[in-house]
Amino acid sequence: EDQVTQSPEALRLQEGESSSLNCSYTVSGLRGLFWYRQDPGKGPEFLFTLYSAGEEKEKERLKATLTKKESFLHITAPKPEDSATYLCAVQGNAGGTSYGKLTFGQGTILTVHP
């Protein structure tokens, strides 16, 4: 069974204070690892898809990296508008019935203070 663990559960940063969020996973053959941002009461907003160890993707102040066991979401010089819940999800390769299934972590609640 695929499993995803995100840490920390909550992170409070000062504006400009860079940090990283962690997503550890176990999966039977990784088809993809996904990062989403979710604001309260809204749907998750897609950020990145990573497919293989060593892959990196960047978007503005965010950079996602992937190893065989975990992914990091690095936030450089965050701003208050980066405050949100960040969700990590994996899609495994367990066979036909797993297609379309994402296994989500519990999320990291990020708060950036001005």
Partner 1 sequence: DTEVTQTPKHLVMGMTNKKSLKCEQHMGHRAMYWYKQKAKKPPELMFVYSYEKLSINESVPSRFSPECPNSSLLNLHLHALQPEDSALYLCASSQDIAGAGQETQYFGPGTRLLVL
The residue ranges that bind partner 1 (CB under 8 A) are 31-32, 34, 36, 41-46, 49, 51, 87, 89, 91, 97, 99-102, 104-107
Measured from the CB atom, the residue of 24 and 76 that comes closer to partner 1 is 24
Other CB atoms within 10 Å distance of the CB of residue 57: 14
Measured from the CB atom, the residue of 54 and 100 that comes closer to partner 1 is 100
DSSP-derived secondary structure for 46-109: EEEEE-STT-EEEETTEEEEE-SSEEEEEE-S--GGG-EEEEEEEEE-S-GGGTT--EE---EE
Measured from the CB atom, the residue of 4 and 13 that comes closer to partner 1 is 4
What's the closest the beta carbon of residue 19 comes to partner 1, in angstroms?
Answer: 21
What's the closest the beta carbon of residue 113 comes to partner 1, in angstroms?
Answer: 21
Tell me if 30 sits within 8 A of 23, measured CB to CB: no
What tokens does 32 get? 């993809």
Amino acid at 3: Q
Residue with tokens 């979710």: 38
Measured from the CB atom, the residue of 64 and 89 that comes closer to partner 1 is 89
What's the closest the beta carbon of residue 91 comes to partner 1, in angstroms?
Answer: 6
What's the closest the beta carbon of residue 7 comes to partner 1, in angstroms?
Answer: 14
